[in-house]
A and B are shown apart, each in its own frame.
Chain A
Amino acid sequence: AQSVTQPDIHITVSEGASLELRCNYSYGATPYLFWYVQSPGQGLQLLLKYFSGDTLVQGIKGFEAEFKRSQSSFNLRKPSVHWSDAAEYFCAVGRQGAQKLVFGQGTRLTINP
């Protein structure tokens, strides 16, 4: 069965610092991978997705993620965070032919001024 692990429940970084959020998945074939962001009191918004091709994908709001098959990882990065990036981030995996996403537990990001 598919599963997603986000090892970090809560991360705090300073504004302007770089960010990396970790995501590990368990799935036998090539997965479909996603990162969503949830701002306080809001629904989730898609940041980026990976289906195939270039393993480094660019998303909205200056985020990128890299698919590493050998490590079963899909980590999210941003070179310089802004206070508005404070939110909860969810990694998710789906598989071709299925109709559901499996979400990780989420990582809450706090930004220090």
Chain B
Amino acid sequence: EAQVTQNPRYLITVTGKKLTVTCSQNMNHEYMSWYRQDPGLGLRQIYYSMNVEVTDKGDVPEGYKVSRKEKRNFPLILESPSPNQTSLYFCASSFSGFEKLFFGSGTQLSVL
């Protein structure tokens, strides 16, 4: 089944403790992206990747890192999480650009 898989689904952590949210797609997509969803703000792009080893900042990249070492994986790294990063995170992928994005089920992150 074609899908974008994010893990974990829920995560509670404390300020400053490094964490990684994984994202994997099995559709051989070139493009991958991370979004955060906050009430009243919709989805905002954090980072995106056009292909392996090619990443770029979205609208809200501060406090986040990404890497794209393999085509299928695009992990999101929070090296020192803070409470303002409490949010619902989505990974998405597509064959190219934003033409048709496939989304994962989301990761609800709480930073205490």
Q: Residues on A close to B: CB < 8 A?
A: 4, 6, 9, 32, 34, 36, 41-46, 49, 90, 92, 94, 99-101, 103-106
* B104 and A43 contacting across the interface, CB-CB below 8 Å: yes
CB-CB nearest in chain B for A6: B42
- Helix, strand, loop or mixed for chain A's interface? strand
How far, in whole Å, are A104 and B56 apart by their CA atoms in the complex?
A: 22
> Of B4, B35, B42, B56, which one neighbours A99 at CB under 8 angstroms?
B56
Is B44 engaged at the interface, CB distance under 8 Å to the other chain?
A: yes
Bound-complex Cα distance A50 to B29 (A): 22
| Cβ < 8 Å to A, chain B residues 79-112 | 90, 92, 97-101, 103-106
B45 to A43, Cβ gap below 8 A? no
Q: How far is the CB of A59 from chain B (nearest CB, A)?
A: 12
Instruction: Give the nearest-CB partner of B103 in chain A.
Output: A43
A43 x B106 contact (CB < 8 A): yes
Taking a contact as CB atoms under 8 Å apart, the answer to whether A94 and B98 are in contact is: yes
Bound complex: CA A100 to CA B45 (Å): 7
Measured CB to CB, the closest approach of chain B to A98, in angstroms, equals: 8
Task: Show 19 A/B contacts (Cβ-Cβ < 8 Å), sorted by A.
Answer: A36-B101, A43-B4, A43-B92, A43-B106, A44-B92, A44-B101, A45-B103, A49-B100, A90-B43, A94-B97, A94-B98, A99-B31, A100-B59, A100-B98, A101-B43, A101-B45, A101-B98, A101-B101, A103-B35
